[in-house]
A = this chain, B = another copy of it.
Amino acid sequence: MATRRSTNRRVVRQDDDLARPNDGAARPAKPAKTQQSPPRAVIEHVLPQVDCGRRPAKATVGDLLAIEADAFADGHDLLRCEVRYRHDTDTKWSTSLMTSLGNDHWRAMVPIESLGRYRFLVSAKVDRFATWSRDLKARASAGQDLGIELLIGAQLIEQAAKKARGTDRLMLSTISVGLRSATGGLETKMPEATLSWAALGATEVGQARKESLGDVVYSEKLGRFLGGLSEGTATTSDTFAIMVDPAKARFSTWYEMFPRSTSSTPDVHGTFADVRDKLGYVEKMGFDVLYLPPVHPIGRTGRKGPEGAVSAGTADPGSPWAIGASEGGHKAIHPALGTLEDFHALIKDAAVRGIDVAMDLAFQVSPDHPWVSEHPDWFRHRPDGTIRHAENPPKSYEDIYPLDFDTPDWLGLWTELLEVVRYWIAQGIRVFRVDNPHTKPFAFWEWLLTTVKTEAPEVIFLSEAFTRPRVMEQLAKIGFSQSYTYFTWRVSKWELESYFNELSHSDLAAYLRPNLWPNTPDILSEELQSGDRAAFISRFVLAATLGSSYGIYGPAFELQEHLARSPGSEEYAHSEKYQVRSWDRDSRKSLASFIGLVNKIRREHPALQFNDTLKFHAVDNEQIIAYSKSRPNGPSAEDVVVIVVNLDHSYPQSGWVELDLASLGVDWRRPYVMHDLLTDAHYSWEGGRNFVSLDPSNVPCHIFSLHQPAIRRSPVEGAR
């Protein structure tokens, strides 16, 4: 049974026989032989909507989701618009009345309370009572005779009364009698007893006594009630789906670490036990996802040596992404890391600290993987009988065989891959990072993700695709919960602003959740190769505040590892992909405590846990970027956080920040406090333009909490 309940502020309708939705279009040329003319309202541009409703939009548990639409009718009549929504496990539809935002645009806020799938539609019809009430006011203001109009209103209310029950019906009858007999015009006082608004489901019973006829017929509350009872054919939109993930899909803080480099003894292969020893370190920095590269047996055929050398020495561990050996394949654990029990213990210890262990799903094999001999038909063969290894001509990767997803036994292969995911879920894994999903068919991922999410809606999948925009978007559409982005290469103010405006405010925002990485084991960005501490800090702060989800590959990041394998390469020198590394986690140059501080700020400020409200503000210096976030969907801008970053890692930069105060809910006439959460300094700012100066040799950024004190009452008022 559903645990979801609509809040008591929402009207719940007993709509079991909800009509099949349509697009409101009349069927041309052959009007149906009915008594009713076709519905007059039109509904368009329903949001959120992905690919005309073919794909679900995304939400997370706890969201208050804005559902919007354009709705209008011919002529001047007013509309009543509502959203109907239900979770797959609900037996009934809930209804939420939409509010007009002007220009025929409407919105309702819907509480999202359960994992899995919601469906919703928008319904609109002409509201005859509201139209009558608005016109009555115009006629009354113009001093026109209202006699006949009051009779028309009485008829409307009498019709509605037939549908009402008990005290509601009594109240409506009293109002219609009042309208029919009104001789004192709209000033006529209404009988007291019958006008208890409690009958309308409102709580403020006491307020509405002794009202005049005008108060009553112009009352929004009565209008809403009568609108619900009114006659007329409604137009309904298509039905759209919302897939609901856990809140961590929206707000997560990732730390990637090679388990084999966790031993405290130099050059010794680390184990899951060593990883458990490092959990405190990870927790202290404030991460809640610990992502491990593949933990499976590593192939020996074609094994790569240090620096990616084409052949390995006997002691070289090989790349963890060359999965599979005689010890087993995708369901096995590398013996040097420990046993399945050790892995269970790691997952359990991490969970106690609020950390999810994320597994790597890399659907490719080494030539030694058991599947190669068990299922030769899962691979593509060349005319000489050999299996085609991975390549991107003229490059070729002899240590990896790609799977042939189009094999005649594709269903057998796909099912086995699904079983791999199910297996690790059964071991306690809830977060997967998927390696190169863009080299496997979209149809495969859609099938796998849909199946898994149906069985376990709490599972999160991060798509590691650094490829063309349409391909990355498609992976998000077909079900990936989070996506790697181009952040790694977006460096200048112009690049950051245009890219993050696109991520936060275009169609993408409905289905693609960015996860920002300043580095990965594959990408030591040019920015970081300088080795400037300011570069690491500013790239980190950008990731942690531009994205509600971000990650770093450590300890390389916090220890400011910055040597590339060769000039112009983004590969790390001495990459952990090919060798065991020892890290001096206690180094004085470590950024661990700074990272811990920023992650604490992220936890304490809901503004940083969403991307919806991201707004860039002008600065008269191209080297300084400024942006704000606030808690979304609140009645006003709450928890306003303003971030200012010096993008120049070598020189101090200063300039005037021009905050758009209106968008932040700040009164420009009064001073406000900028509390720097990094330094605990407080600044008093006034008006939109304020001066900042940031020195890369110190902390090259501000993370401000903006607060404007309420207006103080005068002593006399305060004494009341």
Interface size class for chain A?
Answer: 35 or more
The reply to whether the CB of A148 lies closer than 8 angstroms to some CB of chain B is: yes
Q: Are A74 and B440 in contact (CB under 8 A)?
A: yes
- Please tell me which stretch of A254-262, A442-450, A608-616, A700-708 contacts chain B, meaning at least 4 of its Cβ atoms lie within 8 angstroms of it: A442-450
Are the C-beta atoms of B103 and A470 separated by less than 8 Å? yes
A70 within 8 A of B: yes
CB–CB B468/A104 < 8 A: yes
A103 CA to B467 CA in the complex, in Å?
Answer: 11
A135 in the interface (beta carbon within 8 A): yes
Check if A371 is an interface residue, CB within 8 A of chain B: no
Complex Cα distance, B73 from A470, in Å, reads 10
What separation, in Å, do the CA atoms of A440 and B75 have in the docked complex? 7
- A142 touches B (CB below 8 Å): yes
Residues of B within 8 A of A51 (CB): 23, 44
A463 to chain B: closest CB distance in Å?
A: 12
A588 on the B face (CB < 8 A): no
Contact among B383, B407, B410, B470 with A70 in the assembled complex (CB-CB below 8 Å):
B470
At the interface, yes or no: A138 with Cβ under 8 Å from chain B? yes
For the complex, is A553 an interface residue (Cβ under 8 Å from B)? no
Complex Cα distance, B411 from A23, in Å, reads: 21
Bitwise, A185-203 to B at CB < 8 A (1) or not (0) is 0000000000000000000
Per-position binary interface string of chain A over residues 15-29, scored 1 when its CB falls under 8 Å from any chain B CB and 0 otherwise = 000000001011011
Within 8 A of B (CB), among A390-432: 392-394, 405-408, 410-411, 414
Chain A, range 442-475, C-beta contacts under 8 Å to B: 442-444, 446-447, 449-451, 454, 468-471, 474
A269 to chain B, nearest CB (A): 34
Q: Decide if A40 touches B72 in the complex (CB within 8 Å).
A: no
Q: Is A38 an interface residue (CB 8 A)?
A: yes
Count copies of this chain in the complex. Answer: 2
A6 at the interface (CB under 8 A from B): no
Q: Provided the pairs A31-B447, A141-B394, A469-B103 are in contact, do residues A382 and B72 lie with their beta carbons within 8 angstroms?
A: no
A444 to B28, CA, bound (A): 9
Question: Which chain A residues (255-278) contact chain B, with CB distance < 8 Å?
Answer: none
Q: Are A441 and B104 in contact (CB under 8 A)?
A: no
Do the beta carbons of A471 and B394 come within 8 Å of each other? Answer: no
Q: Which B residues are in CB contact (< 8 Å) with A446?
A: 25-26, 28
What residues on B are CB-neighbors of A76 within 8 Å? 392, 439
Which residues in window 36-65 of A have CB below 8 A to B?
37-40, 42, 44, 51-54
**A33 surroundings in chain B (CB, below 8 A):** 411
What separation, in Å, do the CA atoms of A135 and B382 have in the docked complex? 15
Q: Mark A148-183, 1 if CB is under 8 A from B, else 0.
A: 100110010000000000000000000000000000
> Given A44-B51, A439-B74, A442-B40, are A26 and B447 neighbors across the interface (CB < 8 Å)?
yes
Name the distance in Å between A450's Cβ and chain B's nearest Cβ. Answer: 3
**How far apart are the CA atoms of A23 and B410 in the complex, in Å?**
21
Chain B residues, CB < 8 A from A42: 442, 470, 474
List of B residues within 8 angstroms of A44 by Cβ: 51, 470, 474
User: In the bound complex, how far is the Cα of B411 from the Cα of A223, in angstroms?
Assistant: 31
Question: Contacts A383-B148, A447-B31: A439 and B75 contacting too (C-beta < 8 A)?
Answer: yes
CB distance from A464 to the nearest CB of B (A): 14
Contact B37 A406 (CB under 8 A): yes
A443-B406 Cα distance, complex, nearest whole Å = 48
Minimal beta-carbon separation of A470 from chain B (angstroms)? 4
Question: In whole angstroms, how far apart are the Cα atoms of A410 and B32 in the complex?
Answer: 11
Chain B residues whose CB sits within 8 angstroms of the CB of A449 once the complex forms: 28
Q: Are B37 and A405 closer than 8 Å at their CB atoms?
A: yes
Q: Does A119 contact B (CB under 8 A)?
A: no
Q: Give the CA-CA distance A451 to B38 in the complex, in Å.
A: 16
Chain B hits for A341, CB < 8 A: none
Asked if A314 CB lies within 8 Å of chain B CBs, one says: no
Q: How long is the Cα–Cα vector from A514 to B33 in the complex, in angstroms?
A: 36
Contact B142 A394 (CB under 8 A): yes
CB distance from A379 to the nearest CB of B (A): 15
The answer to the question of A384 belonging to the interface, with a C-beta cut-off of 8 Å to chain B, is yes
Let me know if B383 and A152 touch, CB within 8 A: yes
Interface positions of A from 352 to 391, Cβ below 8 Å from B: 382-384
Query: Which residues of the other chain, B, contact A468 by a CB distance below 8 angstroms?
Result: 72, 103-104
Closest 7 CB pairs of A and B: A28-B450, A26-B443, A142-B394, A52-B52, A38-B443, A37-B410, A138-B393
A-B contact pairs, 28 of them (CB 8 A): A23-B51, A23-B54, A26-B443, A28-B449, A29-B447, A29-B450, A31-B410, A31-B411, A31-B447, A33-B411, A37-B441, A37-B443, A38-B443, A40-B441, A42-B442, A44-B470, A72-B468, A72-B470, A73-B441, A75-B438, A103-B468, A103-B469, A135-B393, A142-B394, A148-B382, A148-B383, A151-B383, A155-B383
Residues of A participating in the B interface, judged by any CB pair closer than 8 Å:
23, 25-26, 28-29, 31, 33, 35, 37-40, 42, 44, 51-54, 70, 72-76, 103-104, 135, 138-139, 141-142, 144, 148, 151-152, 155, 382-384, 392-394, 405-408, 410-411, 414, 438-444, 446-447, 449-451, 454, 468-471, 474, 478
